[in-house]
Amino acid sequence: AGSRASVQTALRTLLAAPWPSQRDVRSWLQLLSVLQWVLSFLLLGTVSLLLLIYLVFTSFWPISALYLAWIIFDWDTPEKGGRRLPCLRRWPVWRHFRDYFPVKLVKTHDLSPSHNYIIGSHPHGILCVGAFCNFITGSTGFGEMFPGIRPFLTTLAGNFRLPVFREYLMSGGLCPVTRRAIGYLLSKNGTGNAVAIVIGGAAESLSCRPGVTTLILKNRKGFVRMALQHGAYLVPSFSFGENDLFRQVVFEEGSWVRSIQQRFQKMMGFAPCIFYGRGLTSVQSLGFLPYARPITTVVGEPVAVPKIKDPSCEMVDMYHEMYVRSLLKLFNENKTKYGLSETDELHIL
């Protein structure tokens, strides 16, 4: 009788306890979706590599041997359009990921499926959240806004050398930021391809901090040359709010720490940033999760580019200047709509 009474008391206590509201459940799902994304990008490749090395010294060594054989057989696939899986782009978790910040995509002009495009994505930020959410997941409606256009996003070629991580990247539509990979998408994959390139790259992430909008673009002209060689139209895009997701310890130009960061970036392709965000338990705690700040990615007007097999430096400079003007126009026309003031300027280095 005593045990029955204690069970009944426990059940009454459980039923009397406040159940989480729908809003609380949504917040947890959003937080978990961002957590899995951050962990995937920061740890999946390294952990998979260490696990496969460990398995070599166990009775499960055939798993490592088979996967190594697979990578050798599949080595060139990332350079040839990858292996995108539409079901991964439609994964429900990306809706929660989108709503955490939230992320929004804004269309200003149509993109015709009869052309190919290079979309310049600015700014880099720390983890390129806006570019990933808009061009890799289908959660913000890219496919509906731009029917007939297949978006791809480029990232460091070294990421495609990491086991398991390479499969994850390719399944979403990511490809290496190499001439061969981009050239394949612009010349041997038909039309209607939009290759998004985060032009500022790792160097730009070193200057990323809230309230500062600085782009590394003045001497980045390789994407313009490729656009001319393949007749791909140039499309500027800007993610307002990207630089507000993390706090970074920024070292001044000329300091020894900054020189080490820059040297490391030139050797390895990415910059060792010292940044922090919110923790898992609360907004006040420190951690590696991004702060929930709205990101609005505005896709601008295409710059029509002719196809020239061997463009001159003067031709490259001319279309680069046209692209910069189009980007500045996009920024100035939209900055006050999405969190910036009229006095905020876009600094291009």
| C-beta separation of 192 from 186 below 8 A | no
pLDDT at position 152, please? 96
SS3 258: helix
| Adjacent-strand bridge partners of 238 | 122, 298
Burial classification of residue 102, based on how many CB atoms lie within 10 Å of its CB (0-12 exposed, 13-18 middle, 19 or more buried): middle
pLDDT at position 89, please? 87
pLDDT at position 18, please? 67
Low pLDDT (below 50) residues in the chain: none
pLDDT at position 13, please? 72
pLDDT at position 110, please? 96
Rounded to 10 degrees, the C-alpha dihedral 240/245/246/250 comes to: 0
pLDDT at position 15, please? 63
| C-beta separation of 160 from 85 below 8 A | no
State the pTM of this model. Answer: 0.89
pLDDT at position 276, please? 85
pLDDT at position 333, please? 96
Domain boundaries, the chain: 21-348
